[in-house]
Amino acid sequence: MRVHRVAPVLVLTLFALWVAFGAAPARAAEPAAALPVTDPEVPPEAPATEPSDDALFEDEEDFDLLEDASARDPFEIFNRDVFSFNRTVDRYFFDPITRGYQHTVPAPGRHAFYRAFQNLDSPMILVNHMAQFRVVDSASTLTRFVINSTIGVVGLFDPAAGYFEVYRVEGDFGQTLARYGTPSGPFLMLPVFGPSTVRDAFGDVADILMDPVSYFVGPFRWWTIVLGGGEGLTTLDAHIDEREELEKGSVDFYSALRSAYLQSRDAMVREARGQVAEAGVVTADGAL
């Protein structure tokens, strides 16, 4: 789910402070390879066997994915500086708040709040599914919203999936733009918001403007900040462990996050184009 973690005013304020004080941390250099250590009492290890064809294929496939992601990142130097800024904000601001939230609120309560905020996204997702001519997904999203908003107590519970097997399907305006042939454009690392592309950044703005919830509560008011902050907090809580696992298993966390984001978005675009093609709607060809 693409989430607006904080109010735009906070984003611009933090980024302005970063630029004003030159606080973008230097990028961490990759550790030098350790020198081999020999022990005369320990026999040398047997020479490594040649990798199998399958292993070579997987390595080449991973390399191709990294190369493709790198080619879509012409602003990598700037993006890495923004990424370093985001990591600093996460480390000293968002992560402590999220961990405090996890220690204060029991897991069942946190899951319920997360489901409620996901339910609030349903009208925006429904609009995009309809714009993409995804009839089945539109019906599913509307059904889920009605069931979970009533029986599920404003979305705190998910009887639509648990009892009726109607599952959530994501959708956003960036995906809608892609369905009509808009290329993704360069990869962008946005301050605080995180990974995106030029197309998805415009899509996020459109999603904010078309979200019916914002019209009920009114833009730029204190409850707008509360809703945005609450949605961001519950989403961070749901995914913070996954992010930390990705970071621990990555030699270059920036590259790993970039590749994961681009692959996820490309999969969503292919899903939208494939479903409308099955429905007999002509899809636009071109770059994802």
Tens-place pLDDT, residues 87-111: 999 999 999 999 999 999 999 999 9
Separation CA 54–CA 51 (nearest Å): 8
Q: Is 132 within a domain?
A: yes
Q: Is 285 within a domain?
A: no
**Any idea which residue has 């007999």 for tokens?**
280
Three-state secondary-structure class, residue 220: coil
Q: For the segment 154-190, what is each residue's pLDDT rounded down to a tens digit?
A: 999 999 999 999 999 999 999 999 999 999 999 999 9
Q: Is 93 within a domain?
A: yes
Burial of 258 (0-12, 13-18, 19+ CB in 10 A): buried
Q: Is the pTM of this model over 0.85?
A: no
Determine contact, residues 128/172, Cβ cutoff 8 Å: yes
Separation CA 8–CA 31 (nearest Å): 37
Of the candidate ranges 6-20, 74-88, 169-183, 269-283, the one whose mean pLDDT is the lowest = 6-20
Per-residue confidence at 142, pLDDT binned at 50, 70, 90?
A: very high
Domain count, the chain: 1
Of the candidate ranges 15-29, 68-82, 228-242, the one whose mean pLDDT is the lowest = 15-29
52 has a pLDDT exceeding 50: no
Q: Is 154 within a domain?
A: yes
Q: Is 20 within a domain?
A: no
Q: Is 288 within a domain?
A: no
Q: Is 54 within a domain?
A: no
Q: Is 38 within a domain?
A: no
What is the pLDDT at residue 273?
81
Express as a percent the part of the chain with pLDDT over 70.
Answer: 67
Parent domain of 178: 66-278
